[in-house]
A = this chain, B = another copy of it.
Amino acid sequence: MKNVSINDIAGALHVSKTTVSLVLNNKGDALGISKRTQSRILKLAKKLNYQPNKIAKGLILGKTETIGVVLADISNVFYSKIARAIEDSLSHREYQVLFLSSDEDPAKEKKGIEILKHRIVDGFIISTTQLNKNIILQLQEENYPFVLIDRHFPDIHTNSVIVDNRGGALAATEHLITMGHNKIAHLTLSTHLYAIQQRIAGYRQALEAHRIAFSPDWIQDIPYTNAKKRMMIALKTLISIKGMTALFFANNRLTILALQCLQDMKINVPNDVAIASFDDVDTFKVTHPSITAVEQPLEAIGKYAVDILIEEINNSGKMNPKKQVILPTKLIIRQSSRKYPVTADS
């Protein structure tokens, strides 16, 4: 269980640990350590399977080559795909990733960030709950490297990588309009997340652009608690009472929930009602019908976030200009938004 240290190598070879450290960090040539000494050290290090103690290195260097990733919930496909993209981009640079799920709870978010901050991570990638602006402001003030993903504060100038939520919602809604619908409802979340608000804005923008009369009750919030029951009621109201012929959902969770409800209610998609969703997930390819959705570039989000973060970490000290990137989404048209009449296939 004992690990080989730089001292062990130095002792065995009768050289100083300085020499060993230098050689192992490829500074041998620059500092003019003899080829012979270098190769002896290198050889022994390999033989003993020497691995530097990252903790000790971290202490002196003030860097751990570890970054903290704070997400709402790692078990949600959306985040786990981003997580994977982040992990991949980072591992190419020999960085490690610490994950933290905030569960949309600002207290958990704060606690997690504080624990990691104190020198265990070199920086953060955060999908903020947006419920605790202070913690973000504080990081910013302390000049702690971080980048916000998926969600950001429109009024704080931080590094951020988000998608064009408004554009995506606009495209989906316009597609529904193109398919002949003019009674299109929007099912969304009761939240103040800026990203969700932008989706509402995109939806409304599409209706306006096509001069479709709109009434505020076309938009229904589904709360987190009692979601299924509330969804049932909302669907019934929108479809049976208000005569909506198309539904646009703010995220994949809502859509999947609605699909179950619609099946229970014997309402056929897309014959009785057409559907489009924000967030493309694999499930949407195998449902019947398959679901038209706004795809978010998850790998790109992860990649950009890492690039920006690493650059900031490497330039720490210097005041880096904050970068904001907004990535385009892509509308994937499937069966759920087909024009009817539709011939049923199995």
| Contacts from A to B (Cβ < 8 Å) | 1, 3, 51-56, 58-59, 64, 66, 73-77, 80-81, 83-84, 87-88, 91, 94, 96-101, 114-120, 142-144, 256, 259-260, 263, 266-268, 282-283, 285-288, 345-346
> With a CB–CB cut-off of 8 A, which chain B residues contact A285?
260
Contact of A98 among B3, B97, B260 (CB under 8 A): B97
Given A1-B143, A3-B119, A117-B51, A286 contacting B100 (CB threshold 8 A) = no
**B286 with A256: CB separation less than 8 A:** yes
The complex places the Cα of A256 from the Cα of B283 at a distance, in Å, of 9
27 of the cross-chain contacts (CB-CB < 8 Å) are A1-B144, A51-B115, A51-B118, A54-B119, A55-B58, A55-B119, A56-B59, A66-B98, A66-B120, A74-B80, A75-B77, A75-B81, A75-B84, A80-B80, A87-B99, A87-B100, A87-B101, A96-B115, A96-B116, A98-B98, A99-B99, A256-B282, A260-B286, A263-B286, A267-B346, A283-B283, A288-B346
| CB–CB B59/A118 < 8 A | no
Nearest 8 A-B pairs (CB), nearest first? A288-B288, A75-B84, A51-B118, A80-B80, A283-B283, A55-B58, A268-B346, A75-B80
Which of B66, B74, B88, B286 has a CB less than 8 Å from the CB of A283?
B286
Report how far A267 CA is from B286 CA in the complex, Å.
14
Select the residue from A55, A56, A259 with max chain B CB neighbours within 10 A.
A55
Contact (A55, B51) CB under 8 Å given A75-B80, A87-B99:
no
The count of identical subunits is: 2
Q: Which of B64, B286, B345 contacts A266 (CB 8 A)?
A: B345
Contacts of A346 in B (CB 8 A): 263, 266-268, 288
- Give the distance in Å from the alpha carbon of A81 to the alpha carbon of B77 in the complex: 10
* Chain B residue nearest to A56 in the complex (CB): B59
- Return chain B residues, CB-CB under 8 Å to A282: 256, 283
Task: Determine the residue in chain B with the shortest Cβ distance to A121.
Answer: B96
Question: CB distance B118 to A52 under 8 Å?
Answer: yes
Check B54–A118 contact: CB distance below 8 A. yes
- Assuming the contacts A118-B3, A285-B260, asked whether A59 and B55 have C-beta atoms less than 8 A apart, the reply is yes
Taking a contact as CB atoms closer than 8 A, the residue among B51, B87, B114 that contacts A114 in the complex is B51
Residue among A77, A81, A88, A100 having the largest count of chain B Cβ atoms under 10 Å: A77
Contact B55 A74 (CB under 8 A): no
Closest B residue by C-beta to A258: B286
CA A345 to CA B77, docked complex, whole Å: 29
A62's nearest neighbour on chain B, judged by CB, is: B55
Tell me how far the C-beta of A65 lies from the nearest C-beta in chain B, rounded to whole angstroms: 9
> What is the minimal beta-carbon distance from A143 to any residue of chain B, in angstroms?
5
* B contact residues around A142 at 8 Å (CB): 1
| Smallest Cβ-Cβ distance to A267: which chain B residue | B346
For the complex, give the distance between the alpha carbons of A229 and B88 in Å. Answer: 28
Q: Which of A54, A64, A266 has the most CB of B within 10 A?
A: A54
Query: Which B residues are in CB contact (< 8 Å) with A51?
Result: 114-115, 117-118
Give the nearest-CB partner of A77 in chain B: B77
For the complex, what is the distance from the CA of A260 to the CA of B334, rounded to whole Å? 13
Measured CB to CB, the nearest residue on chain B to A253 is: B282
Which residues from chain B contact A58 at a C-beta distance below 8 Å? Answer: 55
Chain B: which residue is nearest A266 at the CB level?
A: B346
Say yes or no: A74-B83 contact (C-beta < 8 A), given A55-B59, A143-B1: yes
